[in-house]
Amino acid sequence: MIRFILSDLRRLWAGSLVVVLLVALATALGVSVVLQERALRLGSARAADKLDLVIGAGGSETQLVLSSVFLQPSPLPLMSGEVLARLADDPRVDWAAPIGFGDSFSGYPIVGTTVVLAENLSSGLVEGKVFAREGEAVIGSAVQLSLGGEIKPMHGLAEEGGETHTELVYHIAGRMRPTGTAWDRAILVPIQAVWHIHGMEAEESADHDHQQAGAGHDAHEHHGEANPDAPLEESWTDDAPGLPAILVKPKTIADAYKLRQQYRSGNTVAVFPGEVLTNLYATLGDAKQILVAVAAGAQALVAASLVLVTVIHIGQRRRQIGALRAFGAPRGAIFGIVWLEFFFLVAVGIGLGFTFGYAAALILSGMFSETSGIAMPVGFAREDARLAALLLAFATILAALPAVLAYRQSPAQALRA
């Protein structure tokens, strides 16, 4: 029987190839949607796990997380520097690192922060040292620059008509270890230098409270002076300049919840990045359901096409089936041959569909990781095995249709056709 089926498939290779490709492409569409959505969910969750608590000025929690955790450019309101001073002296806080952004270099975001974040974000450096002066910088693992290289900060992005700062040129002092987050594409510089080149002196912080200097400001009117050899001063007072966000590492889980509750009142908001992502996942889940429905619709159309192809195929093989019956082949054998042949084609198509879907998800995830810096793990899970079993079960039923048509056909009718 197997030799007969293989011989038949070789003889009808063109039609067999069409069936396999139709099934493969329809399956690949659904598989790639599922794998890509899972990779995006896992990648963003792992990126958010690196940071415990984010505190910012009152406003959108989602935008605060997108800007501070995923470094998506967007202007944020500034909160008083007094918040940083309180956190630095809070016994419940292991460390608190201010961040300021809005500048870039060669497409990489420049983030003003402190030594403590540069040391803790990636558990140390892979080469070089942490910045110790205003004119030094630490780069992420995915930044395609070399130690000792120069960085001329530009306000905003080049494609948006950004303006290059002439007050200071940074020199790369070290490179962080890979984190699998957007920070792998970031350039970390002293927050002190960011304040100076934007003219954000301590006594001016109140006046700049709603400008976006150091946080994606719209008008670049305030220029300052910076000394590249100036040592860093990272002890905070109540008159520190305004800040868009502060990344906080609480000492315990209980401390994290207490701090979150304390700073969710007044002019500040405190969030756990994972909680904000949960809301985004809900929206992403709705989008996934729509895409899965589209994929299911495509698969249904393919199934209908296969049924049509099958009916035509059986009609073309009526003489062959009649001859087999005339030579004494039982109906059960005819049923088995036709069913096994069609099931084999659909099963091969499903297998290729999973392969194509996996490859497509890898390509899309690689493109996203290259632009965002977030590692996107693509892989199969247990529910994917259930999907494969469901598709094979459907193939079992679908293959029975031509087998039944062949089974019901009498030798006399077939030979007269």
Structure tokens at 256: 């994290």
- Picking from 231, 249, 271, the residue at the C-terminal end of a domain is 271
DSSP-derived pairing of the beta strands 108-113 and 163-164: unpaired
> Do 94 and 27 belong to one domain?
no
**What's residue 208's pLDDT?**
41
> Do 290 and 230 belong to one domain?
no
Q: Residue 145: which domain range?
A: 53-271
**What's residue 220's pLDDT?**
41
**What's residue 3's pLDDT?**
64
> Do 63 and 22 belong to one domain?
no
Q: Which positions ≥6 away from 200 have C-beta within 8 Å? A: 194, 208, 213, 214, 222, 224, 241, 242
> Do 395 and 247 belong to one domain?
no
> Do 305 and 366 belong to one domain?
yes
**What's residue 256's pLDDT?**
94
> Do 132 and 174 belong to one domain?
yes
**What's residue 190's pLDDT?**
93
Is residue 381 within 8 Å of residue 38, measured between CB atoms?
Answer: yes
Closest CA to 21 of 349, 344, 343: 349
**What's residue 216's pLDDT?**
45
> Do 253 and 165 belong to one domain?
yes
Cα 176 → chain centroid:
21
In this structure, is the dihedral angle defined by the CA atoms of residues 316, 322, 325 and 329, taken in order, positive or negative?
negative
> Do 29 and 155 belong to one domain?
no
**What's residue 1's pLDDT?**
56
Is residue 249 within 8 Å of residue 156, measured between CB atoms?
Answer: no
> Do 288 and 162 belong to one domain?
no
Distance between CA atoms of 319 and 328, rounded to whole angstroms?
Answer: 14
C-alpha distances out from residue 117 to 21, 45, 68, 82, 280, Å: 51, 20, 13, 19, 26
Query: Which positions of the chain have pLDDT values less than 50?
Result: 203-222, 414-415, 417
Closest CA to 42 of 228, 216, 180, 220: 180
> Do 233 and 136 belong to one domain?
yes
> Do 407 and 303 belong to one domain?
yes
Distance between CA atoms of 147 and 170, rounded to whole angstroms?
Answer: 11
* Counted domains in the chain: 2
- Picking from 271, 303, 337, the residue at the C-terminal end of a domain is 271
Is residue 53 within 8 Å of residue 256, measured between CB atoms?
Answer: yes
**What's residue 2's pLDDT?**
63
**What's residue 321's pLDDT?**
60
- Picking from 245, 271, 297, the residue at the C-terminal end of a domain is 271
